[in-house]
């Protein structure tokens, strides 16, 4: 006969010992897969152009507050440019929590990738050059904080393309940008006395 030890509400106790219950461990509450609608040839874009635009709305229907965290997984990205231009893919996100939240449109950058390739002085004629750069996939984690019962989280994500700096059209240009996709995952866990 085994003795079961009295434990907290987020603990289990059995013949093997004590440990965290499944309700204590973080779990995925929502997931969104967003694909890029503008991959391929690009041209000058002094203002940011959205390649991926997605959002998640999630309401806490539990009786207790939960702690929320978003994971943003980006696909491998590719950029190709001709001298002397710069191509940039930026990631931006915003969030809001409340009874009727409205996260602002993300702009600027939270993280991203870019390339600049210049092989000539400004007084030399344009020469044929191309620079190919692939970036591996990576994941960012965003702490969102506590969501009280009945409150809703509104999270917005955008991948933005731009061409900062000077721009010249080469003799044989090849400018490509591929953001492919982004996967948003909302993770929640119990919130007890301000910490998990």
Q: Give the per-residue pLDDT at 182.
A: 97
Domain boundaries of the chain, sorted by first residue: 27-190
Q: Rounded distance, CA 54 to CA 93, Å?
A: 10
Residue whose C-alpha is closest to residue 59's, from 154, 142, 144: 154
Residue whose C-alpha is closest to residue 62's, from 171, 170, 162, 151: 151
Indicate whether 120 pLDDT > 80.
Answer: no
Q: Rounded distance, CA 159 to CA 183, Å?
A: 12
Q: Give the per-residue pLDDT at 196.
A: 47
Beta carbons of 36 and 181 less than 8 angstroms apart: yes
| Mean pLDDT confidence for 38-51 | 94
Residue scoring higher pLDDT (117 or 132): 132
| Mean pLDDT confidence for 99-121 | 78
Q: What is the mean pLDDT of the chain?
A: 85
pLDDT-derived band at 191 (thresholds 50, 70, 90) equals confident
pLDDT digits (tens, 9 = 90+) for 140-184: 999 999 999 999 999 999 999 998 888 877 777 788 999 999 999
Q: Rounded distance, CA 35 to CA 182, Å?
A: 6
Instruction: For the chain, give the DSSP string.
Output: -PPPPP--TTEEE-SS-EEE-TTTS-EEEEEEEEE-S--EE----SS-EEEEEEEEEEE--SSS-EEEEEEEEEPPEEEEEETT-EEEEEEEEEEEEESS--PPPP-S-SEEEEEE---S-TTSPP---EEEEEE--EEEEEEEEEE-TT-EEEEEEEEEEE--S-----SS---EEE--EEEEEEEEEE-BTTB-
Q: Out of 17-21, 76-80, 151-155, pick the least confident.
A: 17-21
pTM value? Answer: 0.83
């Amino acid at each position: 006969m085994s003795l079961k030890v009295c434990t907290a509400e987020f603990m289990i106790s059995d013949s093997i010992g004590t440990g965290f219950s499944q309700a204590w461990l973080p779990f995925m509450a929502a997931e969104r897969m967003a694909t890029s609608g503008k991959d391929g040839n690009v041209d000058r874009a002094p203002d940011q152009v959205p390649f991926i635009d997605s959002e998640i709305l999630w309401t806490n229907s539990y009786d207790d507050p939960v702690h929320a965290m978003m994971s943003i997984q980006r696909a491998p990205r590719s950029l190709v440019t001709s001298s002397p231009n710069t191509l940039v893919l930026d990631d931006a996100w915003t969030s809001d929590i409340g009874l009727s939240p409205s996260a602002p449109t993300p702009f600027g950058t939270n993280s991203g990738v870019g390339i600049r390739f210049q092989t000539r002085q400004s007084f030399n004629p344009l020469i044929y050059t191309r620079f190919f750069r692939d970036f591996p996939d990576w994941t960012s984690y965003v702490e969102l904080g506590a969501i009280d019962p009945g409150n809703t989280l509104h999270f917005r994500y955008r991948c933005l393309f731009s061409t900062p700096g000077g721009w010249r059209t080469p003799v044989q240009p090849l400018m490509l940008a591929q953001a492919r996709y982004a996967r948003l995952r909302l993770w929640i866990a119990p919130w007890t006395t301000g910490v998990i």
